[in-house]
Amino acid sequence: MSTRHSRTRRVLLAATLSTLASAGTPALAQAPFPDRPLKLVIGFAPGGSTDVVGRMIAQKMSVELGKPVVVINRPGASGAIGTTEVARAEPDGYTVLVNIVTTAVINPLTQKNLQYDPIKDLQPVAMVGKLPNVIILNKNVPAHNLREFIAWAKANPGKVTFGTGGAGGVQHLSGELLAKMAGIQMTHVPYKGAAPAIQDLLAGNIDAVFDNVTGPISLIKAGQVTALGVTTEERIAVLPDVPTIAESGLPAFKNSSWISIFTRAGVPPAVLARLESAVLAAARDPETVAKLKELGAVPAPMNTAELDRFWRSEFTYWRDAIKAANISLE
């Protein structure tokens, strides 16, 4: 009897140990996230507003996650090159994207041969803030406000040029919308990022630039360029003397850029939650908030669910704007 009981106990013990081992193996095999450096992709050249804010968030994320967040610039095609890289990355959370309205919404609406589907390939993580846009002129242009610029452009049909950080971006659309609403002709000159566009503006090679206010704010304050107006509904605190385009004679003209963090669709829920927490902590950090305001940006942190709803609503606004401006891009 005792021998039989002994055998039974051994069988039960073996079964119990086997069950515990099989249950514990995944937990032991799955390393905590992150266990290595992350890559943050920026689809624009170094020095522009997207790059400035993206690098700041990367530094704060590194602190929150306890691992380096390495910034990789992939400029070109209005940010589509960098976005495609993230869309094709492994869905493990180790590759994240600085996503803006251009790459998240406008490219999919205007580029027929885009190599990514934002809805299927990308996952919102968190919003950082909104970036007002501004139109600036080189000092050789004989205009000090929007009305004078419109009059000058009408007197020089087909000769006025404006640069942006890339074809099809929100700044490009803003320029085309302004031209349509004002009844003027402007030739768009696309660059690989806002920084080289501003360099050409300062050199006198182009007449105007549409950019996030973050990029040229120091030039505006120093009087090296003429700021005609910001695209938001109200004036911004960092440039209180610069009027809105709406108040300068085009009341229907209102929009802004925004900056957020996305990753590859299909990341595990626990990894997404960890990324969301890190980005929100970075966006809400007092140093980040102060820096955003200094740059002219508006802190506007949103969690994953809030960003997802906002992002989808932007498709409606910009689809209507593209149609109104009669813009057709390849």
Residue 59 sits in the same domain as residue 108? yes
Asked whether residue 178 is assigned to any structural domain, the reply reads yes
- Mean pLDDT, the chain, integer: 89
Domain end: 230, 247, 266, which one? 230
Question: Contact, 153 vs 228, CB < 8 A?
Answer: no
pTM of the model: 0.74
d(C-alpha 55, C-alpha 140), whole Å: 34
Asked whether residue 26 is assigned to any structural domain, the reply reads no
Residue 191 sits in the same domain as residue 58? no
Residue among 321, 179, 165 at smallest CA distance from 245: 179
Q: What angle do CA 134, 243, 214 make, to 5 degrees?
A: 30
Residue 123 sits in the same domain as residue 187? no
d(C-alpha 82, C-alpha 41), whole Å: 6
d(C-alpha 267, C-alpha 284), whole Å: 24
Question: Contact, 289 vs 299, CB < 8 A?
Answer: yes
Q: What is the CATH number of the domain that holds 48?
A: 3.40.190.150
Question: What are 155-210's pLDDT values in tens digits?
Answer: 999 999 999 988 777 888 899 989 999 999 999 999 988 899 999 999 999 999 99
Asked whether residue 242 is assigned to any structural domain, the reply reads no
Q: What is the CATH number of the domain that holds 174?
A: 3.40.190.10
d(C-alpha 297, C-alpha 53), whole Å: 9
Residue 196 sits in the same domain as residue 49? no
Residue 226 burial (10 A CB sphere; 0-12, 13-18, 19+): buried
Residue 114 sits in the same domain as residue 139? no
Asked whether residue 283 is assigned to any structural domain, the reply reads yes
Asked whether residue 13 is assigned to any structural domain, the reply reads no
Its domain, for residue 46, covers: 38-131+256-325
Q: Is 53 helix (H, G, I), strand (E, B) or coil?
A: helix
d(C-alpha 100, C-alpha 297), whole Å: 13
For residue 34, what is the DSSP state?
Answer: P
| CA 255 to each of CA 173, 203, 210: distance values in angstroms, whole numbers, following the listed order | 10, 28, 12
pLDDT band at 229 (very low <50, low <70, confident <90, very high): very high
Asked whether residue 140 is assigned to any structural domain, the reply reads yes
Residue 137 sits in the same domain as residue 214? yes
Domain end: 213, 230, 247, which one? 230
Residue 223 sits in the same domain as residue 184? yes
pLDDT band at 102 (very low <50, low <70, confident <90, very high): confident
Residue 214 sits in the same domain as residue 169? yes
Asked whether residue 72 is assigned to any structural domain, the reply reads yes
Q: What angle do CA 96, 102, 106 make, to 5 degrees?
A: 120
Kindly tell me if the per-residue pLDDT of 79 is higher than 70.
Answer: yes
Q: What length does the chain have?
A: 330
Q: What percent of the chain has pLDDT over 70?
A: 89
Question: What are 134-145's pLDDT values in tens digits?
Answer: 999 999 999 999
Residue 160 sits in the same domain as residue 225? yes
d(C-alpha 139, C-alpha 143), whole Å: 9
Residue 307 CB partners (closer than 8 Å, separation 6+): 124, 125, 126, 127, 260
Residue 151 sits in the same domain as residue 166? yes
203, two tokens: 């050199």
d(C-alpha 81, C-alpha 73), whole Å: 10
Sign of the CA dihedral 262, 268, 273, 275? Answer: negative
pLDDT at 274: 98
Residue 104 sits in the same domain as residue 174? no
Q: What is the total count of domains within the chain? A: 2
Q: Is 190 helix (H, G, I), strand (E, B) or coil?
A: strand
